[in-house]
Amino acid sequence: MKVHGGTATGGIADDAFAMPAGMAIRYDRPSPDLADCITGYTVFHSDDPVERVDWFLPSPTMLCIFVEAGPVTARIGNHAFGPLPPATVIGPTSRAMRITTHGGTMVGIGISATGWARMTDASASLSHNRIVAAETVFDPAAVAMLTRQLAALPDDRTVKLVLDALLPALLRPVPAGTKGAHMALIAQLTALATTDCVIDVADIAVRLGVAEARLRRLSRQYFGMPPKQLLRRARFLRSFVRLFQGGDIADARRLDPSYFDMSHYLRDANAFLGTTPRRFLGHNSPFLQASIRARMAVLGAPTQALHPGGCKVPPAG
């Protein structure tokens, strides 16, 4: 696959996708029919088969298809994975991920908690901080078709068209019964998890009108982690990205208001990054830095974990 980078979305400057020579990045919006389930499409490419290491922020589930790629391995916390299969699911993560590649192309498909509910009966908690073969989680025939079609593309400009056409086969009808009743709660929790200053689980339960025990079960089933961890991850990433984009990683004025002080923020950094923000950004990770910039330009959120749901946030009080 020849990768040019960029986007099919009009009105976005080319410099949003600037990368070093021999590397390219692409972001595209899914069709409106998929928007509740799929948070976005991305393509990462490197011409160089020499081993390279990149770091990525904690995020929701990602379905990755590797095309003409050398061996790919990954580490999340203390757990090593790989070589990864051509179709891979990176489960919801609460730790930074270190990926080692040897050139080639990765097509990434962001999957929301709503998408997870439509694509599998498995609990997302079983994939928390784990990487597994896609066919063990999602419909094997649909995954195989998706992998074949992407591998046959001449270039990245038609990735969006193929994904828009094929991904509906991975989505089952909105379920009836108890699981169907969860769908509205999933959308509301998604909205709350990406809203400033929301961190208290008891408050969330009241705003959603559910018992805390039910909220914990729903969060683990569809988001892969307890609600407290989900909310802390979003709070940390909101602050981290603000500091990154502001150019001063130590500017306490940009922290989420629910942080008491910089040391409170740094404790979360250790939990989610395994190090300080400054040391994390000291890694040579051009794909991470470019993805924050390009994803914001195309999809309106700098990371997948902050991608807003389409549901109105329930009011406080």
Q: Could you give the strand order of the β-sheet that contains 73-76, starting from the edge strand earlier in sequence? A: 52-56, 97-101, 73-76, 79-81
- What mean pLDDT comes out for the span 198-220? 91
CA–CA dist 276, 101 (Å, integer): 24
Please tell me the distance from the alpha carbon of residue 41 to that of residue 109, in angstroms, as a whole number: 5
| DSSP state for residue 96 in the 8-state scheme | -
Handedness of CA 102, 90, 114, 308 (dihedral sign): negative
**Is 69:106 a contact under the CB 8 Å cutoff?**
yes
pLDDT one-digit tens code per residue, 42-88: 999 999 999 999 999 999 999 999 999 999 999 999 999 999 999 99
Q: Following DSSP, what letter does each residue of 2-47 receive, concatenated? A: B---B-SSTT--GGGG---TTEEEEEEPPPGGGTTTEEEEEEEEES
Tell me, what's the pLDDT at 60? Answer: 97
Q: Which of 57-61, 159-163, 177-181, 185-189 has the lowest mean pLDDT?
A: 177-181
| Domain spans in the chain, listed from the N-terminal domain onward | 14-173
- 147-172: pLDDT as tens digits: 999 999 999 999 999 999 999 999 98
Which 3 state secondary structure label does DSSP give 86?
coil
Q: Find tokens 């969860």 and name the residue.
A: 182
Place of tokens 């130590």: 250
Q: Nearest-5° angle of CA 245, CA 7, CA 73?
A: 70
Q: Is the domain defined by 14-173 classed in CATH 2.60.120.10? A: yes
Q: What residues are paired with 66 via a beta bridge? A: 106
- On whether the pTM is more than 0.75, the answer is yes
Contact 70/97 with Cβ under 8 angstroms?
no
The SS3 assignment for 82 reads coil
